[in-house]
């Protein structure tokens, strides 16, 4: 008889995992705290947008949902930086056809639940809040809307219940379970730029950034012509949420910091006051599994800050890796979960660090001239030596290279770029077409 599997949390990772396990023939029951998101009326621009990249697409294609998601996604080929003087600078993310894709979180979640629900052996139960797990007996307890408690026994439990996981909170009581939770100094708030007569008011195929040093605004396109914006500010101190308490403070801040965006958000005050200010947290823990019976995946085991656009992609990659391990280990879940957590943990830690580092790049460095010079050199290296020099951003976003390897190679690349950026006439050398011979003559990149 096929195993009975309980998945706790029908968010992005839980619903994708349900589709995979359904495809593999398991009896899957997914329990979600919220009401069914498919019945919610979420207009575009009213949900956070996610950037989906290669790792995400790989997992979506694995379960056969990739094409459904592609129809609702918009390619973003690069960053469009908005200067304080309203100037625009475009910086491609990679080579010509490389892009990351903007997709509404709610829309994606709806597609994935629908997709998994097509399997007869997958069953979703909403408004079931997990409140406890008996780890040894694999019994999950749920609180229902009428305050009733329901107990569900199964062979395996997957905790895909996000950064504040109830499953993890039970595991945290185990001996030798390591856990850390770190709030960063910045909170975020969603805003939006509506379409004008059905048209985009800024470049459609870009991720827009207003980098301002200690803080920033970003905007991602939606298919209806609107943009979902996210404002990242410290929660206290200078230029912080704490300082924006009334209409005149909010307006003065936006006018001086994001003048072009200010003109495109006529309902700024309403949005600012209506939308919550939310924290950003980094979650690390280990081990992720218990005796081959219970495991955590996605944000429940590795929650990261959103600045590399990789949290969901990393969670989706967890699903691809689990699939490969299921091929190797069959139903030996103890071995499978142990190999999964041991091999995956260094990569989860690596992307957590990279995401934090990219915050500095996005909010500060992208607006600086020397950084743009460095990016031009990096691009020239990529175009000239596509097999030997793949920039770290491209490795992370456009390949399935393990994150920890992308960090290791990125550190080597930093040394090369540091040397080249200090060469005053390097951009002329690139311009003249002498770059290849210059790099080769000076043995600057390994073969
Ligand atoms: P979640 O999406 O949090 O889903 C968890 C689910 O479990 C939810 O449905 C929740 O209701 C349910 N749940 C929680 N507790 C219980 C319980 N007790 N019982 C039952 N159900 C429960 N990642 C990217 O790859 N690209 C991006 O561009 C990107 N942008 C982001 C922007 C912001 C502002 C933020 C905050 C994050 C961003 N991320 C991005 C990260 C991404 O949102 C997460 O990594 C991803 O949502 C993790 O998916 P998950 O399924 O593990 O957790």
Tell me: the pLDDT tens digits for 144-186?
Answer: 988 899 999 999 999 999 999 999 999 999 999 999 999 999 9
In the chain, the largest separation of any two C-alpha atoms, in whole Å, equals: 74
Which ligand 1 atom lies nearest to the CA of residue 14? 51
Return the pLDDT at 273: 96
Which ligand 1 atom lies nearest to the CA of residue 190? 34
Distance 419 CA to ligand 1 centre (A): 40
Which ligand 1 atom lies nearest to the CA of residue 53? 25
Pairing of strands 277-286, 178-193: antiparallel
Distance 8 CA to ligand 1 centre (A): 13
Mutation test of ligand 1: which of 7, 14, 142, 320 has the most ligand atoms closer than 8 Å to its C-beta? 14
Distance 158 CA to ligand 1 centre (A): 15
Return the pLDDT at 198: 93
Distance (Å, rounded) from C-alpha 323 to C-alpha 398? 20
Beta bridge partners of 133: 140
What percentage of the chain reaches a pLDDT higher than 90? 88
4-73+105-181+280-358 to CATH, choices 3.20.20.70, 3.40.50.1000, 3.50.50.60, 3.40.920.10:
3.50.50.60
Distance (Å, rounded) from C-alpha 395 to C-alpha 58? 14
**The two structure tokens encoding residue 7:** 């998945």
Which ligand 1 atom lies nearest to the CA of residue 299? 52
Give per-residue pLDDT as tens, 203-237. Answer: 999 999 999 988 999 999 999 999 999 999 999 99
Distance 163 CA to ligand 1 centre (A): 7
Provide residues with CB under 6 Å of ligand 1: 8-14, 31-34, 48, 50-51, 129-130, 160-162, 166, 188, 230, 298-300, 306, 309-313, 315
Return the pLDDT at 369: 82
CA atoms within 13 A on the CB side of 83: 9
pLDDT above 80 for 388: yes
Kindly report the protein residue whose alpha carbon is nearest to atom 18 of ligand 1.
130
pLDDT above 50 for 45: no
Kindly report the protein residue whose alpha carbon is nearest to atom 15 of ligand 1.
161
Distance 425 CA to ligand 1 centre (A): 46
Distance 227 CA to ligand 1 centre (A): 20
Kindly report the protein residue whose alpha carbon is nearest to atom 41 of ligand 1.
311
**0.75 exceeded by the pTM?**
yes
Give per-residue pLDDT as tens, 328-368. Answer: 999 999 999 999 999 999 999 999 999 999 888 777 777 77
Mean pLDDT across 392-396: 95
Kindly report the protein residue whose alpha carbon is nearest to atom 43 of ligand 1.
312
pLDDT above 70 for 3: yes
Mutation test of ligand 1: which of 14, 51, 172, 311 has the most ligand atoms closer than 8 Å to its C-beta? 311
Mean pLDDT across 52-66: 98
**The two structure tokens encoding residue 437:** 């011979």
**Burial of residue 387 (number of CB atoms within 10 Å: 0-12, 13-18, 19+):** exposed
Return the pLDDT at 95: 84
Q: Which residues contact 7 (CB under 8 A, 6 or more apart)?
A: 14, 17, 18, 21, 28, 29, 30, 31, 157, 158, 160
The per-residue pLDDT of the chain, averaged, comes to 94
Three-state secondary structure string covering 107-150: HHHHHHHHHHHCCCCEEEECCEEEEEEECCCCEEEEEECCCCEE
Distance 12 CA to ligand 1 centre (A): 6
Kindly report the protein residue whose alpha carbon is nearest to atom 26 of ligand 1.
309
Contact 394, 382 (CB under 8 A): yes
Distance 299 CA to ligand 1 centre (A): 6
Distance (Å, rounded) from C-alpha 259 to C-alpha 210? 10
Distance (Å, rounded) from C-alpha 86 to C-alpha 144? 51
Kindly report the protein residue whose alpha carbon is nearest to atom 33 of ligand 1.
306
Phi/psi for 250 (5° steps) reads: -65, -45
pLDDT above 60 for 44: no
Distance 11 CA to ligand 1 centre (A): 6
pLDDT above 80 for 429: yes
Mean pLDDT across 411-426: 92
Distance 23 CA to ligand 1 centre (A): 23
DSSP characters over 421-436 = HT-TTHHHHHHHT-HH
Kindly report the protein residue whose alpha carbon is nearest to atom 3 of ligand 1.
162
- Helix (H), strand (E) at residue 75: strand 74-76
Distance 162 CA to ligand 1 centre (A): 5
What percentage of the chain reaches a pLDDT higher than 70? 98
């Amino acid at each position: 008889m096929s195993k009975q599997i309980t998945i706790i949390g029908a968010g992005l990772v839980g619903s994708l995992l349900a589709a995979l396990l359904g495809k593999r023939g398991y009896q899957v029951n997914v329990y979600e705290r919220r009401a069914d998101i498919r019945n919610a009326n979420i207009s575009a621009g009213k949900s956070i947008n996610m950037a989906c990249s290669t790792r995400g697409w790989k997992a979506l294609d694995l379960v056969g949902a990739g094409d459904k998601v592609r129809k609702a996604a918009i390619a973003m080929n690069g960053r469009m930086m908005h200067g304080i003087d309203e100037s625009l600078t475009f910086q491609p993310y990679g080579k010509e056809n490389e892009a990351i894709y903007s997709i509404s979180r709610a829309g994606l979640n709806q597609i994935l639940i629908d997709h998994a629900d097509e399997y007869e052996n997958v069953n979703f139960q909403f408004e079931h809040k997990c409140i406890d797990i008996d780890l040894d007996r694999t019994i999950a307890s749920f609180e229902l809307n009428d305050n009733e408690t329901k107990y569900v026994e199964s062979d395996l439990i997957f905790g895909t219940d996000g950064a504040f996981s109830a499953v993890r909170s039970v595991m945290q009581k185990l001996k030798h379970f390591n856990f850390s939770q770190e709030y960063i100094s910045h909170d975020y708030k969603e805003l939006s730029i509506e379409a004008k007569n059905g048209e985009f008011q800024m470049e459609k195929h870009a991720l827009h950034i207003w980098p301002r040093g200690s803080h920033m605004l970003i905007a991602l396109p939606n298919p209806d012509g609107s943009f979902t914006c996210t404002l990242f500010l410290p929660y206290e101190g200078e230029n912080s949420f704490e300082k924006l308490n009334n209409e005149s403070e909010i307006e003065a801040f936006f006018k001086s910091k994001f003048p072009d965006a200010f003109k495109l958000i006529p309902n700024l005050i309403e949005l600012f006051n209506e939308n919550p200010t939310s924290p950003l947290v980094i979650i690390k823990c280990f081990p992720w599994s218990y005796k081959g019976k219970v495991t955590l995946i996605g944000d429940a085991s590795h929650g990261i800050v959103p600045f590399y656009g990789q949290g969901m992609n990393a969670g989706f990659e967890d699903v691809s890796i689990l699939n490969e391990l299921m091929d190797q280990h069959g139903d030996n879940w103890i071995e499978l979960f142990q190999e999964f957590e041991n091999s995956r943990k260094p990569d989860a830690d690596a992307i957590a660090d990279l995401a934090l580092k990219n915050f500095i790049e996005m909010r500060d460095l992208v607006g600086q001239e020397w950084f743009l010079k460095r990016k031009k050199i990096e691009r020239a290296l990529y175009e000239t030596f596509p097999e030997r020099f793949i920039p770290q951003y491209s490795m992370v976003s456009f390949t399935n290279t393990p994150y920890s390897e992308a960090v290791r190679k990125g550190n080597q690349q930093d040394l090369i770029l540091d040397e080249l950026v200090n060469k005053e006439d390097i951009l002329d050398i690139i311009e003249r077409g002498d770059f290849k011979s210059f790099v080769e003559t000076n043995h600057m990149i390994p073969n």
